[in-house]
Amino acid sequence: MLELKNITKKFGEKVAVNDISFKVEQGKIFGIVGRNGAGKSTTFRMILNIIEPSNGTCMYNDAPIDNKVLDKIGYLPEEGSLIPTYTVLELCEYYGALKLLSEKQVKENLIKWLEEFNILEYMNAKIKDLSKGNRQKIQFIISVLHDPDLLILDEPFSGLDPISVEELKKAILKLKEEGKTIIFSSHRMEHIEMLCEDLLIIDHGKSVLQGNLKQIIDTYVINGTTNHNLNEIFIDKVGSLDE
Amino acid sequence: MNKQKIKEIVKFSIKQNIQNKWFVGFNVLLLVLMILFANAGNIKEFLENNNIQIFDDEVAIEYVDPNNIIDHKLERMFAKNEKVTVKKVSENKYTPKNIKDNVLIVEVDKDEEKIIKVKITSKEGFDSAIYDDIVEVLQECRSEVFAQTLNIPEEKLEILSTEIPIDRVMLAVNAENSEQKQSIQLVSTIVVYMISIFIFSKIANEIANEKVSKSIEYVLTSVTAKEYLLAKIISVTSVVLIQAVFTLVYYMMGNLISTAILMLQGYEPAISASQVMATLDADVVLYICILFVYSVLTLILLSIIQAALSSKTTNMSEAGNSMTFLLVVTVAVYMFTFALINPYTNMSALIYILSCIPLISNYFVPAIMIIGQAKAWQIIVSLVLLVISIPVAFNKCSVIFKNGVLDYSEKKTRKHKVRKELTLKEEQALKLEKSKFRSLALVLGLSMIIALVLQILMQVLLDVLAYPVFIKFMNKEQIKFLTMGLVSMLSLAGAYLFVKVYIKKDETKEAPNYSVLDCLKMFATSIVFTGLLQWIIIYAQAQWGFRNTAVYETLNVPGLDNFVLQIFFVVAIAIIPAVFEELFFRKGLINLTREYGDKFAIVVSSFLFAVIHLNLAQGIFAFFMGIILGTLYVKTGKLRYGMLLHGINNAYAVFCQIFGSCNWDIAYNVVTYIGKGLFYISIIVVILEIIRKIRAKEKLVIPEGKVIPANAKYILTDYTFVLGTIFVAVTFWTTEIMLNML
């Protein structure tokens, strides 16, 4: 279980993340929604201990997140985190080495996942020769290469065509069945509606709305009616914050 | 730190660097170059034996020489060169149209001013070696002609053109080895520089590559910034080491081939490197070892800094720029060393200090060792600082690295200070504040003017009115000090009374209420500072001739054996300034300006205290003295301690002067001993106080029930202290022996 308590991050005067708290139960999918620059990536970076929060704590299974815990977390950064001059295999070997995987393990897992996405032929291709969609898939593979318990995906669907989105969705659901905890962010409501059980809407670093997706859709009232889709709720909520 | 992860990154990084077409290509090139380099002699010989010449054009030199200055010297010069023919002709018959490609015409004639006059004509440029030979011949001819005109033998004239032979002997320096060491340092500097270029570019490229591709974000979720930095530095250093070993192997291969060729031709093989090493003196080997230690440590330190710099880059071209910075700095430091230290250098405190600073010490210490002026403490301190600086730099740089590497913003936009829109109320308040400050400045200025005007006025009044009265029963010197005392007393008191009107009592601030003992402790601290200040001033006087002539003139009074004069002297110089200057500058000015903060008040009062001395040398001393006295007043809240300190400071000089000029040696010594004793006692008091405070702090964390041994016993029985002392002593002793060997 991942738990964030009153987490805040300030960059100088600017408050990037302001007093956010949430809990993610084991084996569930949690979505974070917000516009660009709302503080999603900063929140993830704080969970991953890349940047230190100005205030508040992050706990995974009631323990602070140190490097040992990080080895059980998989992370898909928002933008391409692939060194363009390496081949897919070389890169996976490097990142695998960082998670203490042997070359053999890396190769086995890589082949398994490349087959899953039907791109086995790209194993020895250089990253710079791959299409954007395939790069995103490779990035996803890298984040699950070491079989993590908690998966953090920052905008996993960006730049993917509809078929690839389906493939990725399938892979995520499969991981969920295996009992993995998954957190992902998006600014596209349909992806959230598709996958998440719980969600958090943030805007300007502040938590605007959070809770169970079904409950929110059932109870959120716009113009006296309920049962609106998430997109309408988001526009209503984030719009109202601007006023 | 996770050693396994660091190992994995290093392994991967080395693999990437070595299994790479550039690495292979570079090594092939290096191998070829090394073989060529080692066989340069053989190649040259081969070319010469087979008559392969680069310039094989034939050249015909014709010279016009009516006064027979050249006297067949040109023919002799080119006698062995088959390609060059020399012929004397009567005139230059060539024009641009009929001149041939390979003809050179040299026209020589006597000249009144320049001794000889030469003109060399050809169609185009030609082999510069031939030209240089001709010039050499002509120069010889000129000396000959010059010698003839002066009627002196030509050989004597030649002495002038040679360098003065100087037999330079420095008994402390082994001159022969010095030269060897100098060349070793030069070579090592070049090698270290080449290696730095290699290491810096590798680190800069790898880090910038991972940063620009943003893969660093993923990396940092697996390892800490420190681990990553360490892994990068280890891997790059290892790659450089591997490359160095390869280069050595290539060199040996080249040598082997060269030896084989020589042996095939029936020659003895050339001397090998190990034979060269055997011919070196022990102290040269030692020097190489020390140089090596400095180079390696400095390279590590530099690569850490380079890593931190690279983390600030946002694209690949910036990575190159970040490298240039460090490289330029290293060259600049080397040049600086070169300029500062040479065999005729007289070591100064500056050079000693510089030689201890990391990043500079690797140039300074070897250079100082060459001229035989290195000291044991210098090497130890500089090495210790260098070693300490590595983890310090590493920790600091890993923080910079972590912050920098996640910052992708292209350019830091400089924040413009937005002028705050002020409300009417705030604006009024600001204006009020400004006017208040202005009136304060006015009061300060006026008080100074009053003090000065009163001083002049009193002086004139006393000179005109009192002098005729006093002169009847006093001598001139006595009157001088009497008026001096009265003038300063009245002017300062007047200025104080003026200032006192404007002092507002701040009811909210409570006056500090220390016990007499605490105040005395502060007083002791002030004495230490005053002593140090005096010492600096004396040192400055001795070193830079920074003479305080005003004080010297005031104190140098004739007829000081007169008892009445002595009393006036003491009162006018020691007592009155102590009391009234403290009253005006400390109590008056500090309280007046204190609403802007204690520090501001102390500095302002000290500045004015310096200004009123109307003398630069004295003013500087007065300024710092003012700061000490002002701080003492602010801390204790009582004027009497400042007065006492000021009085002691002045009285010391006064009594020294009196007893000195009266030749009362015992009294003089007593005064100086009291002065020094006071200084040392104060130092002891301050040290004891510091120890007490540290122990008081320690007491807070020591768990209950634990018995702390008595202070001195504790230190002496602690084995780390004993071991540390022995270690330090042994290190100094061995280094001193080492240096004596050099």
Give the torsion sign (CA, B591, B596, B601, B602). Answer: positive
Q: Please indicate whether, in this complex, the C-beta atoms of A81 and B222 are within 8 angstroms of each other.
A: no
* Residue with tokens 């034939």, as numbered in its chain: B58
> Is pLDDT of B177 > 60?
yes
Q: Which of residues 12-71 of B touch A (CB under 8 A)?
A: 12, 16
Q: Say whether residue A124 is in contact with chain B using an 8 A CB cutoff.
A: no
Q: Within a domain: residue A118?
A: yes
- Band of pLDDT at residue B411, cut at 50, 70 and 90: very low
Q: Within a domain: residue A171?
A: no
Q: Which residues contact B10 (CB under 8 A, 6 or more apart)?
A: B231, B234, B235, B238
Task: Tell me which of B7, B218, B220 to substitute to probe the interface with A (most A C-beta atoms closer than 10 Å).
Answer: B218
Q: Within a domain: residue A212?
A: no
Provide the shortest C-alpha distance from residue A99 to chain B (in Å). Answer: 6
**Pairing status of strand A2-11 against strand A14-24:** antiparallel
Pick from A70, A83, A100: CB nearest B213: A83
* Residue with tokens 């938590």, as numbered in its chain: A207
Which of A5-19, A171-185, B35-49, B571-585 has the weakest average pLDDT? B35-49
Higher pLDDT residue, A87 or B546? A87
As a whole number of angstroms, the distance between CA B252 and CA B232 comes to 30
Q: Say whether residue B2 is in contact with chain A using an 8 A CB cutoff.
A: yes
How much is the pLDDT for B536? 81
* pLDDT tens digits, B360-395: 888 888 888 887 777 888 888 899 999 999 999 999
Task: Tell me which of B3, B215, B311, B398 to substitute to probe the interface with A (most A C-beta atoms closer than 10 Å).
Answer: B215
Strand, coil or helix: A185: strand
Q: Say whether residue B267 is in contact with chain A using an 8 A CB cutoff.
A: no
How much is the pLDDT for B415? 46
Provide the shortest C-alpha distance from residue B218 to chain A (in Å). Answer: 7
Q: Within a domain: residue A71?
A: no
Residue B223 with chain A: CB contacts under 8 Å: 67, 98
> Is pLDDT of A61 > 80?
yes
**Number of Cβ pairs < 8 A linking chain A and chain B:** 68
Alpha helix ranges (H) inside B472-577 = 476-502, 516-544, 549-555, 563-570, 576
* pLDDT tens digits, A62-71: 888 887 888 8
Q: Which of residues 404-443 of B touch A (CB under 8 A)?
A: 406
Q: Which of residues 204-223 of B touch A (CB under 8 A)?
A: 209-210, 213-223
Q: Please indicate whether, in this complex, the C-beta atoms of A99 and B222 are within 8 angstroms of each other.
A: yes
Please give the average per-residue pLDDT across B718-738, as a whole number: 68
Q: How many domains does chain A have?
A: 1
Q: Say whether residue A79 is in contact with chain B using an 8 A CB cutoff.
A: yes
Q: Which residues contact B555 (CB under 8 A, 6 or more apart)?
A: B573, B653, B654, B657
Instruction: Please determine, for the modelled complex, whether the ipTM score is greater than 0.90.
Output: no
* pLDDT tens digits, B186-243: 888 888 888 888 888 888 888 888 888 878 888 888 888 888 889 988 998 888 888 8
How much is the pLDDT for A243? 36
* DSSP label at residue B596: G
As a whole number of angstroms, the distance between CA A206 and CA A20 comes to 7
How much is the pLDDT for B54? 55
Nearest in space to A82 (alpha carbons), one of B218, B487, B83:
B218
Residue B1 with chain A: CB contacts under 8 Å: none
Token pair, residue A223, equals 């113009």
As a whole number of angstroms, the distance between CA B484 and CA B685 comes to 37
Residue A54 in contact with residue A10, Cβ under 8 Å?
Answer: yes
Nearest in space to B731 (alpha carbons), one of B353, B376, B315, B468:
B376
How much is the pLDDT for A85? 83
- Band of pLDDT at residue A41, cut at 50, 70 and 90: confident
How much is the pLDDT for B559? 75
Residue B220 with chain A: CB contacts under 8 Å: 48, 50
Q: Say whether residue A48 is in contact with chain B using an 8 A CB cutoff.
A: yes
* Edge-first strand listing for the sheet containing A150-154: A63-64, A55-60, A2-11, A14-24, A206-212, A198-203, A29-33, A181-186, A150-154, A73-76
Residue B566 in contact with residue B574, Cβ under 8 Å?
Answer: no
Task: Tell me which of A9, A50, A54 to substitute to probe the interface with B (most B C-beta atoms closer than 10 Å).
Answer: A50
Please give the average per-residue pLDDT across B69-82, as a whole number: 81
How much is the pLDDT for B325? 84
Residue A67 with chain B: CB contacts under 8 Å: 2, 222-224
Q: Say whether residue A57 is in contact with chain B using an 8 A CB cutoff.
A: no
Higher pLDDT residue, A199 or A13? A199
Provide the shortest C-alpha distance from residue A206 to chain B (in Å). Answer: 22
Which of A177-186, B163-172, B561-570 has the weakest average pLDDT? B163-172
> Is pLDDT of B700 > 60?
no
Residue A79 with chain B: CB contacts under 8 Å: 214
Q: Tell me the residue type at B186.
A: L
Residue A105 with chain B: CB contacts under 8 Å: none
Q: Please indicate whether, in this complex, the C-beta atoms of A94 and B12 are within 8 angstroms of each other.
A: yes
Residue B214 with chain A: CB contacts under 8 Å: 77, 79-81
How much is the pLDDT for B719? 59
H or E element that contains A14: strand A14-24
As a whole number of angstroms, the distance between CA B272 and CA B256 comes to 10
> Is pLDDT of B716 > 80?
no
Pick from B213, B219, B220: CB nearest A84: B213
Residue B490 in contact with residue B458, Cβ under 8 Å?
Answer: yes
Q: Within a domain: residue A143?
A: yes
* Secondary structure (DSSP) of A192-217: HHHH-SEEEEEETTEEEEEEEHHHHH
Provide the shortest C-alpha distance from residue A215 to chain B (in Å). Answer: 34
Q: What is the largest CA-CA distance in chain B?
A: 116
Cα–Cα distances (Å) from A126 to A87, A116, B611, in that order, read 4, 20, 75
Q: Tell me the residue type at A30.
A: F
Residue A139 in contact with residue A81, Cβ under 8 Å?
Answer: yes
CA nearest B215 in A: which residue? A81
Residue B218 with chain A: CB contacts under 8 Å: 75, 77, 81, 95, 98, 142-143
Cα–Cα distances (Å) from A166 to A32, A160, A174, B112, B608, in that order, read 20, 10, 12, 101, 81
Q: Say whether residue A11 is in contact with chain B using an 8 A CB cutoff.
A: no
Q: Say whether residue A211 is in contact with chain B using an 8 A CB cutoff.
A: no
Please give the average per-residue pLDDT across B448-477, as a whole number: 83
As a whole number of angstroms, the distance between CA B25 and CA B31 comes to 10
Alpha helix ranges (H) inside B637-664 = 639-661
Q: Say whether residue A72 is in contact with chain B using an 8 A CB cutoff.
A: no
Residue A90 with chain B: CB contacts under 8 Å: 16
How much is the pLDDT for B549? 66
> Is pLDDT of B300 > 70?
yes
Q: Say whether residue A73 is in contact with chain B using an 8 A CB cutoff.
A: yes
As a whole number of angstroms, the distance between CA A125 and CA A138 comes to 11
Q: Please indicate whether, in this complex, the C-beta atoms of B223 and A67 are within 8 angstroms of each other.
A: yes
How much is the pLDDT for B28? 92
Residue B11 with chain A: CB contacts under 8 Å: 97
As a whole number of angstroms, the distance between CA B582 and CA B587 comes to 7
Which of B201-205, B705-709, B720-724 has the weakest average pLDDT? B705-709
As a whole number of angstroms, the distance between CA B494 and CA B612 comes to 15
Residue B401 in contact with residue B225, Cβ under 8 Å?
Answer: yes
* pLDDT tens digits, B319-366: 778 888 888 888 888 888 877 777 666 777 778 888 888 888 888 888
Residue A142 with chain B: CB contacts under 8 Å: 218
Q: What is the largest CA-CA distance in chain A?
A: 60
How much is the pLDDT for B9? 84
Residue A24 in contact with residue A192, Cβ under 8 Å?
Answer: no
Give the torsion sign (CA, B483, B484, B490, B491). Answer: positive
Higher pLDDT residue, B190 or B708? B190
Token pair, residue B608, equals 């004015």
Q: Say whether residue A63 is in contact with chain B using an 8 A CB cutoff.
A: no
Q: Within a domain: residue A115?
A: yes
Q: Please indicate whether, in this complex, the C-beta atoms of A85 and B217 are within 8 angstroms of each other.
A: no
Q: Say whether residue A100 is in contact with chain B using an 8 A CB cutoff.
A: yes
Please give the average per-residue pLDDT across B662-682, as a whole number: 84
Q: Please indicate whether, in this complex, the C-beta atoms of A100 and B12 are within 8 angstroms of each other.
A: no
**Pairing status of strand A63-64 against strand A73-76:** unpaired
Residue B644 in contact with residue B635, Cβ under 8 Å?
Answer: no
How much is the pLDDT for B171? 62
As a whole number of angstroms, the distance between CA A8 and CA A211 comes to 20
CA nearest B216 in A: which residue? A81
Q: Please indicate whether, in this complex, the C-beta atoms of B8 and A85 are within 8 angstroms of each other.
A: no
Q: Within a domain: residue A94?
A: yes
> Is pLDDT of B454 > 80?
yes
Q: Please indicate whether, in this complex, the C-beta atoms of A95 and B218 are within 8 angstroms of each other.
A: yes
* pLDDT tens digits, B316-327: 777 778 888 888
Q: Say whether residue B9 is in contact with chain A using an 8 A CB cutoff.
A: yes
* Edge-first strand listing for the sheet containing B84-89: B84-89, B59-64, B103-111, B115-122
CB half-sphere exposure, B541, CA atoms < 13 A? 15
* pLDDT tens digits, B238-273: 888 888 889 889 888 888 888 888 778 776 665 555
* pLDDT tens digits, A162-193: 888 888 888 998 998 988 999 988 877 888 88
Provide the shortest C-alpha distance from residue B327 to chain A (in Å). Answer: 27
Provide the mean pLDDT of chain B: 80
How much is the pLDDT for A241? 43
Residue B230 in contact with residue B307, Cβ under 8 Å?
Answer: no
For residue A97, what are the domain limits? 82-148
How much is the pLDDT for A110? 92
> Which residues pair with residue B88 across a beta bridge?
B63
* Secondary structure (DSSP) of B55-114: ----EEEEEE-TT--STTHHHHHTSS-TTEEEEEESS----TTT--TTEEEEEEEEETTT
Q: Please indicate whether, in this complex, the C-beta atoms of B222 and A98 are within 8 angstroms of each other.
A: yes
Q: Within a domain: residue A87?
A: yes
> Is pLDDT of B715 > 60?
no
